[in-house]
Amino acid sequence: MIYQKLLDFPEHFLWGASTSAYQVEGAWDEDGKSPSIIDMYEHPAGYADFTVASDHYHHFAEDIALFAKMGLKAYRFSIAWTRILPQGTGEVNPAGVEHYRAVIAECRKYGIEPVVTMYHFDLPWCLEQQGGWLNRATIDAFENYARVLFTEYGSEVKYWLTINEQNTMILHPGAIGLPKGGQLPSRKDLYQMNHHMMLAQARVMKLCHVLCPQAKIGPALNLTAMYPETCRPEDAIAAHNWEVLRCWNFADVPVFGQYHPLAMRYLEDRGLTPEIQPEDWDTLAGAKPDFIAMNYYSTATIAASRGDASDVSARAGDQQIMLGEEGVYRAAENPYVGKTQYGWVVDPTGFRYTLRKVCERYHLPILITENGIGAPDKLEADGSVHDPYRIEFYEKHLHAMREAITDGVDMLGYCPWAAVDVVSTHQGYAKRYGFIYVDRDEQDLRDLRRYPKDSFYWYQKTIAENGKNL
Ligand code: BG6
């Protein structure tokens, strides 16, 4: 659709930026924090680990002051469950509670809306040792953790995100590290964990609405539209297969309280159906999110399965993410989109397309909780960092979002990845995402000083103009 005039960004649009606790905080064992699975898992050799990360735990006041200077209206960060409840459940750690109280207060001081992710990949290790998400008791533990968060911060936090990228954890579990010995759970177990996470999420959304009626809560999923490689009907079916299994099934359950019918049939056919107790359906149907939080990086292009092992291949430039599934879909190339240095597809129009699809499926407001480009930025001798590729990436994606707003999509805000440099999930520190450069490299911590990049000043101007330049 080509319009005569694009609509403006809404007046109270949440111009923000994101981080997650384990990728930015460091202080992995300080002030009573216990290890999470991330701290105990094996990560690719030669890359930065997560023990210090960007040391945001000690630099948060300085960082938030910079976010305020950039003009942020929202800061999306995650709370480390292991700081609040070092045993996963039970006794609350006052130092952990005070830390996030201080982070929230610092945001509020500058009029920055805290957007809090409750769980971003970092399950307490002690719970993992008791079976983790395979154990139904973890559902109670998550609800108990949520109750502490709502009680402690409910008056100060309006926007809550339940679980970050449940679909990534279930479909690409190795992306966040490998258990010792490298053995990942079976697919059957992964779908059982998925079911338990869905129940935990439903209980927590319901609890939020009871304890904090003024607050809003939603799941944060990695959503992306799929293109068929050609107009061959079989390619279209394959694209739909993967779009459902990768995206819609994970969003349908929180919104509709039901698994997607195609996904359910797939699970049954493959012997992957989780054990579902009769009362689970009421739990799932008894909660509804207020908005959909969406992480968007790339679209995917899909071809019909050949029905053999050749359907499976590694993602370009990333041996750790396998794509394709026998009898389901095969990853294909798209000649019409760009790619980052790390091989990730860059597709701003696909962003608009995905937003339209999410809007039309769920009829809920959308909050972008991640979008960004990883690149090996360079600190110049004068302290500047020139990242024109990042500015171009954001310019194009925000323009596409403005088109989506004009299409009728209800957008709450935009919190790209990342507010400040963070450690990538599995590709180290050199793959930088922030508006603010942190002076460290993979192994050498240097002085961890902060330097605004060119994109920082570009975003500052964009926010000041409420996106009228886009
Ligand atoms: C998202 C995650 O999948 O992508 C983030 O929620 C992550 O935690 C981001 O950092 C970028 O991915 P990566 O692997 O480049 O760090």
- Give the pLDDT of residue 6: 98
For the CA of 121, the nearest atom of ligand 1: 8
Out of 152, 165, 325, 403, which one is annotated catalytic?
165
Instruction: Give 171-217 pLDDT, tens digit per residue.
Output: 999 999 999 999 999 999 999 999 999 999 999 999 999 999 999 99
Rounded Cα distance between 109 and 338, Å, is 40
Report which DSSP code applies to 311.
G
The response to whether residue 165 sits with its C-beta less than 6 Å from ligand 1 reads yes
For the CA of 164, the nearest atom of ligand 1: 6
- Best residue among 425, 426, 429 to mutate for probing ligand 1's pocket (most ligand atoms within 8 Å of CB) is 425
Instruction: Give 48-91 pLDDT, tens digit per residue.
Output: 999 999 999 999 999 999 999 999 999 999 999 999 999 999 99
Domain parsing of the chain, residue ranges: 14-300+334-464
Of the candidates 32, 23, 77, which has an alpha carbon nearest to the alpha carbon of residue 50?
A: 23
SS3 of the chain: helix, strand, coil, percent, to 5: 40, 20, 40
| Token representation of residue 243 | 């779009």
319 pLDDT tier (thresholds 50, 70, 90): confident
Concerning whether 370 is annotated as a catalytic residue, the answer is yes
The response to whether residue 429 sits with its C-beta less than 6 Å from ligand 1 reads no
Rounded Cα distance between 457 and 50, Å, is 28
| Token representation of residue 128 | 């993992």
CATH superfamily for domain 14-300+334-464: Glycosidases (3.20.20.80)
Report which DSSP code applies to 47.
S
Q: Are 161 and 220 in contact (CB under 8 A)?
A: yes
Ligand 1 centre to CA of 306 (Å) is: 30
Of the candidates 166, 115, 121, 124, which has an alpha carbon nearest to the alpha carbon of residue 145?
A: 124
347 pLDDT tier (thresholds 50, 70, 90): very high
Ligand 1 centre to CA of 120 (Å) is: 10
Out of 25, 243, 325, 370, which one is annotated catalytic?
370
Closest residue CA from atom 5 of ligand 1: 425
Spell out the residues 6+ positions from residue 407 whose beta carbon is closer than 8 angstroms to its own: 1, 352, 355, 356, 359
Instruction: Give 265-299 pLDDT, tens digit per residue.
Output: 999 999 999 999 999 999 999 999 999 999 999 99
The response to whether residue 424 sits with its C-beta less than 6 Å from ligand 1 reads yes
Of the candidates 247, 156, 176, 166, which has an alpha carbon nearest to the alpha carbon of residue 201?
A: 166
Rounded Cα distance between 73 and 415, Å, is 10
Of the candidates 402, 409, 372, which has an alpha carbon nearest to the alpha carbon of residue 469?
A: 402
Return the CA Rg of the chain.
21
For the CA of 423, the nearest atom of ligand 1: 16
Q: E strands of 146-289, at which residues?
A: 159-164, 216-222, 226-228
The response to whether residue 34 sits with its C-beta less than 6 Å from ligand 1 reads no
Rounded Cα distance between 309 and 276, Å, is 31
